[in-house]
Amino acid sequence: MRRSDVMIKGIDKAPHRSLWKADGYTDEELSRPIIGIANSANDIVPGHIHLKQLVEALKAGIYMAGGTPVEFNTIAVDDGIAMGHLGMHYSLPSREIIADSVETMASAHPFDGLVLMPACDKIVPGMLMGALRVNIPTLMFSGGPMLAGKYNGRAIDLAQIFEGVGSKIAGKIDEAELKALENTGCPTCGSCSGMYSANSINCISEAMGISLPGNGSIPAPYSSRTRLAKQAGKSIVNLVQKEIRIRDIITKDAIINAVAADMALGCSTNTVLHLLAICQEAGIDFSINDFNNISDQIPDLCSFSPVGPYHLEDLDNAGGVMALLNRINKLGIINGNSITVTGKTLQESYRDKAVFDDDVIRPLDNPYFSEGGLSILKGNLAPEGSIIKQSGVDESILHFSGTAKVFDSEAASLDAIYAQKIKAGDVVVIRYEGPAGGPGMKEMLAPTSAIAGMGLDKSVALITDGRFSGATRGLSIGHIAPEAIRGGTIGLVKDGDKIIIDVKRRSIMLDLSDEEIKKRKSEWKPKEPKITKGYLKRYSKLVTSSSRGAILE
């Protein structure tokens, strides 16, 4: 019995079939496996604007394999456009709306299979979270990465434009050069071309087995992306026929494979947040502490923007994620027997894949960084943990002791940074921007980019209970938990306090005695969230700690 039979088959379903026929579907189409397509296309997000065309190729593949595609839509927020104003409060919370939407549509209309069509950060995990609740055969197919821009003989992207703002304020470039960066940095459709949050989660989805090889790296404008969409359509029908469900694919072994790829690629800190949320929905026992265990065993073999010179098109030319997995397979972490959406094992996908450029994907004995790209730091400032992209930190400041300059909002910190009040040796503390306190856990790309653009990224640290864009680099530590509004130590820091960060020892400490911290805690009074109405009012009350993936309870 097909899952869709409950809405199509039998005499009593004549009214249901009549409504399908009002949509234009024939009896023949309704006799086939019904494949839902969750498409997040819109006219705002560059990573999603071309999904209107790609979905037609996907539908063609479904028809070729004997299925019937049925498309519906979800929302999608553009982080870059939402950055630095009210809009960013809604970015992470939109993940939960997307998860609820996929769950709702795939439950109200019992499809036999499901294809998820995202591109950018939050939309990918949101769709996966919703699909995990329904647990039917599912495949994720993304829109692919943007091509890098070209300016003055070098490859550039969104990060260089954000940093250009800081450079302009510091007098390093003029307005004409900033305009030139603006006009060339984002030249095509697709998710921004560095190893930012969107491309990170799309790449590790290949290692997780929930997307086809090439999903993370084939550039959005390439015809090979269109061909991959047709293959994805054929693959989802195969999954339905074999009765392979999403929870058969996303297992603990699959999560470990994803984190291993994450560490070797040097991915965004946001992957930690989203993988924890995915594990919660899948019922997988995997915590924030497990990331360091894998980071200890997997070196960072890549140097993509914003840390290094390469972009996703370079990863694709170098062999892609499967070539990287074949290389790190020698370390014994990858479980090659994990099933994937190809219907075969992960090992069958990567075992014959070679690396074509040893600088884009370095050999194991010559990594860019001896450990994984990400690290979890703990200490009295972050008892539940905090996250840093350690491969993006200059070696000279892996141990850093600085003086706190405290701000209760991102906006206040930006005012100080743009006024050039932040000096070498400072630790910029941005708090009350966590999941509940923001509310929404805003990304802090504007302040980190301004600091880098002003040339302070090797002499200034930034810590926050908010989060960062994947375009962030430098000594930037986010996801500090517990957050300020829920009594975390970050809410007790005062201007002039000494903060000690030791990346190698994975430690972040406020240099105060336990007695002084207890005294300050007794005098502390919680603040109201910055937004106390509408969806974010509900979100603020229900959201959990970032150390648990900022899921809703």
What are the residue numbers of the active site? 469
Give the N- to C-terminal CA distance of the chain in Å, as an integer: 34
Backbone angles phi, psi at 538, to 5 degrees: -65, -45
Residue 25 structure tokens? 């579907």
Residue 192 structure tokens? 């921004």
Q: List the alpha helices (DSSP H) in 157-222.
A: 158-169, 175-184, 197-208
Coil/strand/helix, residue 94: helix
Q: Which of 324, 328, 307 is nearest to 315 (CA)?
A: 324
Pairing assessment for the beta strands 399-407 and 498-502 based on DSSP bridges: antiparallel
- Taking the C-alpha atoms of 282, 287, 291 and 297 in order, what is their torsion angle to the nearest 10 degrees? -90
CB 526 within 8 A of CB 487: yes
Question: Taking the CB of residue 292, how many other CB atoms lie within 10 A of it?
Answer: 18
**Strands of 113-117's sheet in order across:** 68-73, 34-39, 113-117, 138-140
3-state helix, strand, coil in the chain (%, to 5): 45, 15, 40
Angle 143-255-370 (CA atoms, 0-180°, nearest 5)?
Answer: 95
Q: What is the 8-class DSSP label of residue 369? A: B
